[in-house]
Amino acid sequence: MSRAAALEPVAPLAAPAVLAVRGIGKTYGANTVLSEIDLHIRAGEIHAVIGENGAGKSTFMKILSGHVAPTTGTLALGGRPVAFSGPAEAEAAGIVLVHQEILLADDLTVAENLFLGRELTRRGMIDDASMRRLTRERLASLGSSVSPDAIVGTLSLADRQLVQIARALLESHQLVIFDEPTAVLTSEEVETLLALVRQLRDAGAAILYISHRLDEVEALADRVTVLRDGRMVGSFDGAELTQADMARLMVGRELSTLYPPKGAVAIGEPRLEVENARVPGFIEDVSFTVRSGEILGFGGMIGAGRTELFEGILALRPGRVGALLVDGRAVRIARPIDAIEAGIGYLTEDRKGKGLLLDEGMAPNLTLSALSRFNPGLVLDGKREEAALGETIARYDIRVRARGVKAGQLSGGNQQKLLLAKVMMTDPSVVVIDEPTRGIDIGNKSQIYAFVQELARAGKACIVISSEMQELIGICDRLLVIRNGRIAGELAGEAMTEDAVVMLATGAAGQAGTRGETQA
Amino acid sequence: MTDATMGQVRPERRLSVNWVDLGPFLALAALMVVGFLINPDFLAINNLTNVVTRSAFVAIIAVGATFVIASGGLDLSVGSMAAFVAGVMILFMNALAPELGTSAIPLGMLVVVAAGALCGLANGAITTIGRIEPFIVTLGTMGIFRALITYMSDGGTIPIDRSLRDAYRPIYFGDVLGIPVPILVSLAVAGAGAFILYRTKFGRRCIAVGANEEVARYSGVSVARIRTLAFVIQGICVGLAAICYVPRLGTATPTTGVLWELQVITAVVIGGTALRGGRGHIWGTIAGAVILEFIANLMVLSDFVSEYLVAAVQGAIIIVAMLVQRLSK
């Protein structure tokens, strides 16, 4: 299974495991998302599970935490077979999950959140004093000095995450599962979190750490299990695995083939010029130009305001622009439709929340932004819509069993292709693509990259916003990095390296942690 | 990762029966069987025509409500609005009658439709410009319209002028080829509603706004405009229903249209339209309105339940319908 000659999967030891997973698999209809997973998670050990999006990590985690029942296989907790009918049972058995998203009530205090649904009482009345005292103790033991009386909505993301972890750990726990816990944190905050995870391990808990940040996994994991396409590539000793090994095992091929070759497209006249864009709370002052045939990337920390910059420019949120020129002509964008009519297409990062109508079929989604093109007289032309869908399916290689399926039933990759096709339906000359490959598998990723390059070749100006630095460096001709509401710097050609991007995004080494001020 | 499946997708053949869409019609058929078993007179042509005619007002208003609900709104003011615009129409007709005679009637009809459209525009504009929940806005206007009709009638009745009564009567009591006029009007309104909702840009956008406001906004759809227009359509439907209703009793009173909002929303919901928006079933709504009137009629024809409890049964139906929608999810 492993292509790395020196890396042999470690055979499960006979030593007792907190959780033994044997032959676990999950099938939805004809679709197998996970099969034949075997692993042991031991006390006092950090066991990382890595894999590309769609490799089956989240399904696996949902099975362990009782959210999803496996189709095949067994779980044994402390040597006894268990089958959870829901997350509450898994929690009662000592398996706690720290969610990736922050699931707290913003209007309640830290203490109220910690004890939500399990409030302590004294003679039938809420015992605030004890809850606040316990909250203070728990947070202190996690190295935090956040007040129990602080309103959660006023805390930084890092503090909220800590509260969430404290809440999870309030239950007695044998196994703690972290699901991408650092996705929203700055590098300094990540260090604090990693220290916390180590502390939990040293206190004797078994830790399952799910991430696709390979640097963290390398720094943290005692054991690493790699998933690919729903199957186990193997379990490896963490100390022997380099990041390059992990990447190769996850992807199953060399990364260099993922991106189309650069420099194949001639860059022409400016297509979009933006001067002095300002978005209250996010962007102070940003100006840029993107040319025909060019792919311009926007990088920066999560929360730096990249998405908000374009939502502001395109009138999707309040914002102000000094001047905006499309193909040299001044354009005023007061409503979202103005942007579409000016020839600017925006592909949102929130595919499911803002991009597609999940309960509708593919055709109504495809044509929603461009209904006038399908409305020759008074009536929508269903045949023309179907024809457009047929072309889209062929051109963007959307894989579906039947045309009548709802958009919500498509895989992430197919949804993304449909969304791209929807944006292109308005025939824009400038295409802004926010997180082009979030949550989609590697095969679809390389297709999307090829589509983006095709757009550039067709003379369109492309803007790519992404949190994945590899991706930005892989497909962009030029990169702008946003920090503190301004452009911190521009990179092009050989100068586009991960280090350079990080330096600009964080304000150079030593001054890391510049995210907080831009949070709404 | 190969292109084996590329371009191989065929259009789906839609021969399979969609039970969700058929549901209200099956319920209607079942109700007729039950009705016949309870009292054979129920299926007499005369009785059926009467019942369906009585359902016409609610059916017409409910077509408009299907737009409002499909686009993610809700209008509680329809009953009060119907009473108010009916009062406006009668006062207008009566004022013109001495001079114009019976030609005051068509002018009054134009006025009532315009008044309905304006009331709908008010509901829509307050909702979208003020960014207030439609539930609250229309709760407020429900009180306002009800108070206005009470004020206009001075707590009593606003009767239609004697000189107009005979000429106006056929709008409720007349028929074309044996089909009562209100039934024809409701079929025409439903036909127009179905056309707009299923075949036009506006209808498509209405559904999109109700299904996910953000997706619609990001697609360049003006959410406020679509929502407001849905309320205007609702107002026009209320005006049309008032036209059919007034000749029935010849008056508008402070109790005209009381609890119609319950019947209207119930008809829409049992017709298969989701209250959260994003789906609209015009013909299901019509079936829903007829079902409600059938049930009321059965309560009169049978001795099981007092007819004074009709509203209680209708209230129970909407709750049960919501539970069924929830559980079938």
Question: Model confidence over A372-406: pLDDT tens digits?
Answer: 889 888 889 989 999 999 999 999 988 887 888 88
Percent of chain A with pLDDT over 90: 34
Q: 10 Å Cβ neighbour count for A469?
A: 20
pLDDT at B17: 55
User: At A8, is the pLDDT very low, low, confident or very high (cuts 50, 70, 90)?
Assistant: low
Confidence bin at A319 (pLDDT 50/70/90): very high
A172: confidence class by pLDDT, cuts 50, 70, 90: confident
pTM above 0.80, yes or no: no
The answer to whether B215 contacts A359, with C-beta atoms less than 8 Å apart, is no
Q: Do A355 and B216 touch (CB under 8 A)?
A: no
- Supply the pLDDT for residue A93: 87
Residue A11 confidence (pLDDT) above 80 = no
Q: What's the confidence (pLDDT) of residue B1?
A: 36
Q: What are the start-end ranges of the E strands in A42-124?
A: 46-50, 72-77, 80-82, 95-98, 121-122
pLDDT (0 to 100) of residue A254? 56
B/e letters for B173-205, b = 16+ CB within 10 Å, e = fewer, are eeeeeeebbbbbbbeebbeebbebbebbbbbbb
DSSP line for A274-331? EEEEEETTTEEEEEEEEETT-EEEEEE-TTSSHHHHHHHHTTSSS-EEEEEEETTEE-
Report the pLDDT averaged over residues A426-455.
88
pLDDT in tens, B257-314: 999 999 999 999 999 888 888 889 999 999 999 999 998 888 888 877 787 888 888 8
Residue B9 DSSP class: P
pLDDT of residue A515: 37
**For A236-271, how does the pLDDT look when each residue is reduced to its tens digit (9 = 90+)?**
988 888 877 887 787 766 555 678 887 778 888 999
A483 within 8 A of A507, measured Cβ to Cβ? yes
C-alpha B260/C-alpha B62 separation (Å) is 10
pLDDT of amino acid A253: 60
For chain B, the residues whose C-beta falls within 8 A of a C-beta of chain A are 1, 3, 5-7, 9-12, 14, 199-201, 204-205, 207-208, 211-212, 214-222, 278-279
More confident of the two residues A454 and A192:
A454
Given pLDDT bands bounded at 50, 70 and 90, which one contains residue B19? low
Query: pLDDT band at B329, cuts 50/70/90?
Result: low
pLDDT value, residue A429: 94
Chain B residues with CB inside 8 Å of A394's CB? 6-7
Out of B6, B218, B278, the one facing A348 most closely (by C-beta) is B218
Taking the C-alpha atoms of residue B22 and residue B2, their distance in angstroms, rounded to an integer, is: 41
The pLDDT, as a whole number, for residue A460 is 93
Q: Which of these, B71, B99, B97, lies nearest to B216 by C-alpha position?
A: B71
Single out the residue of A268, A266, A245, A270 nearest to residue A255, CA to CA.
A245
Distance between first and last Cα of chain B:
34
pLDDT of residue B6 exceeding 50, the answer is: no
| pLDDT higher than 70, residue B64 | yes
Which pLDDT value is given to residue B12? 44
State residue A77's pLDDT score.
Answer: 87
Q: Which pLDDT score, from 0 to 100, does residue B163 have?
A: 87
What's the rounded Cα separation, in Å, for the pair A199 and A215? 19
Q: How far is B130 from chain A (nearest CA, A)?
A: 17
Mean pLDDT of chain B: 88
Chain A residues lying within 8 Å of B222, measured CB to CB:
335, 337
Answer with the residue of higher pLDDT: B253 or A15: B253
Cross-chain residue pair B215–A372, CB shorter than 8 Å: no
- What per-residue string of b and e applies to B41-57 under the rule 16 or more CB within 10 Å gives b? ebeeeeebeebbbbbbb
Interface touch A404/B12, C-beta < 8 Å = yes
A14 — alpha (psi -120 to 50), left (phi > 0) or beta? alpha
With a pLDDT cut of 90, the percent of chain B lying above it is 60
pLDDT (tens digit, 9 = 90+) per residue, A443-489?
A: 788 889 999 999 999 999 999 998 888 888 889 999 999 988 889 89
Helix, coil or strand: residue A478: strand
Separation in Å, CA of A73 to nearest CA in chain B:
29
Question: So what's the pLDDT on residue B263?
Answer: 93
- Check whether A1 has a pLDDT greater than 80: no
Return the closest-CA partner of residue A331 out of A340, A322, A321, A342. Answer: A342
pLDDT at B158: 93
Which of these, B316, B198, B305, lies nearest to B262 by C-alpha position?
Answer: B316
**In chain B, what residues touch A348 (CB-CB under 8 Å)?**
218
What gap in Å lies between CA B142 and CA B145, rounded to an integer? Answer: 5
From residue A206, alpha-carbon distances to A17, A83, A159, A391, A511 in Å are 9, 19, 23, 51, 34
Looking at beta carbons, which residues of chain A come within 8 Å of B8?
none
Using one digit for the tens of pLDDT, what is the confidence trace for B69-112? 999 999 999 999 999 999 999 999 999 888 888 888 899 999 99
- Torsion angle, alpha carbons of B182, B187, B191, B192, to 10: 0
| pLDDT level of residue A335 (50, 70, 90 thresholds) | very high
B201 vs A422: CB contact, 8 Å cut-off?
A: no
Using CB atoms, which residue from A335, A353, A400 is nearest to B214? Answer: A353
Higher pLDDT, B77 or A304: B77
- What is chain B's length? 329
- Give me the pLDDT at residue B10, please: 45
Of A297, A332, A236, nearest in space to A489 by CA:
A297
Nearest-CA distance B2 → chain A (Å): 10
Tokens 């750490």 label which residue?
A209
Both tokens assigned to A115: 């004890």
Q: Is the predicted pLDDT of residue A498 greater than 50, yes or no? A: yes
In this prediction, residues A49-78 reach a mean pLDDT of 85
Residues of B in contact with A350 (CB under 8 A): 214
Chain A contact residues (CB < 8 Å to B): 316, 335-337, 339-340, 346, 348, 350, 353-360, 364, 368-369, 371-372, 375, 378-380, 386, 390, 393-394, 397, 399-404, 422, 426, 443
Residue B2 has pLDDT above 60, yes or no: no
- Look at residue A520 and tell me whether its pLDDT is greater than 70: no
Binned at pLDDT 50, 70 and 90, residue A170 comes out as confident
Between A7-11, A328-332, B242-246, the lowest mean confidence (pLDDT) is in: A7-11
CA distance B208 to chain A (A): 7
The span from the first CA to the last CA of chain A, in angstroms, equals 47
Q: How many CB atoms lie within 10 A of CB B5?
A: 13
What's the pLDDT band for B169 if we cut at 50, 70, 90?
Answer: confident
Query: A446 vs chain B: nearest CA distance in angstroms?
Result: 11
Q: What angle do CA B245, B189, B42 make, to 5 degrees?
A: 60
Yes or no: say if A161 and A302 are a contact pair by the CB < 8 Å rule.
Answer: no
Q: What is the mean pLDDT of residues B61-65?
A: 96
pLDDT of residue A467: 81
pLDDT at B264: 95
pLDDT at A512: 39
CB A380 to CB B200 under 8 A?
yes
Q: Which residue matches tokens 């399926």?
A: A405
What pLDDT is stored for residue B70 in this prediction?
Answer: 95
Asked if A359 lies within 8 A of B9 by C-beta distance, the reply is no
Could you tell me which of B46, B71, B45 has the C-alpha nearest to residue B128? B71
Average pLDDT of span A30-46: 86
> Do A300 and A505 contact (CB within 8 A), yes or no?
yes
Hey, what domains does chain B have and what are their CATH numbers?
A: 44-327 (1.10.3470)
Give the pLDDT mean for A56-70.
87
Partners of residue B200 in chain A, C-beta under 8 Å: 375, 378-380
Contact A409, B12 (CB under 8 A): no
Question: What domains lie within chain A, and their CATH numbers?
Answer: 1-93+212-252 (3.40.50.300), 258-518 (3.40.50.300)
Model confidence band, residue A53 (pLDDT cutoffs 50, 70, 90) = low
Contact A380 B211 (CB under 8 A): no
Tokens of A55: 């490799």
Residue with token string 């079938």: B328
Q: Do A403 and B10 touch (CB under 8 A)?
A: yes
